[in-house]
Structure 1
């Protein structure tokens, strides 16, 4: 059960920190230039822990998939969407409607896990 507790903490962290930071950065952060080497290195350095956290979340989710309210394809899509959101939040290269669709999708899946655990 320790694995499940760690997974739930990681899921909560992704939902309350990583996801919300993406939204805040997209709405209020500066737009970075893809072609600027300094911007690229800054983003690479800043996002590495987030990508590692998402990777760990996916591994853990696949380990406990039989105990959570998501299917394997939902786990993969959540991971992919969260990674895409991180990049979009720095570069602002999608319309707000699309960004919010990704946000809602990730939020929905993370909430499924967190709400299912409470019951």
Structure 2
């Protein structure tokens, strides 16, 4: 899968995660095994895609095909991982969540702008 389609797919996941964050209530217990397994099943494909995306994006950035700093790619991956967990566990303030969300979206859009023909 090429970088632009990976990035577009991650953007769709990001929008879905924001909706989950906004409609979900925190779990009654963070030790709820069924909830954990549900979250694990739903987030595992996103984590795997994120790993591939980071690898592909860093390659593109190192080849100077995009004007994004490698650290921005790494930070975006880390922020997306945080958003994944905060979306289900609802354990971050809305302001912090939106800062992470907007930061991720900014880098995705910046990257797409540079790599699209």
- 5+ residue gaps in structure 1? none
Greater per-residue helix proportion:
1
RMSD: 1.4
Is the CA contact 2:24–2:90 (under 8 Å) kept in the aligned structure 1?
A: no
TM-score (norm 2): 0.91
Is 1:78 matched up with 2:73? no
Q: How does 1:1-119 map to 2 (within 5 A)?
A: 6-15=2-11, 17-32=12-27, 33-65=29-61, 66-118=64-116
TM-score (norm 1): 0.89
- 5+ residue gaps in structure 2? none
**Aligned positions, number:** 114
In 2, Cα distance between equivalents of 1:90 and 1:71 = 30
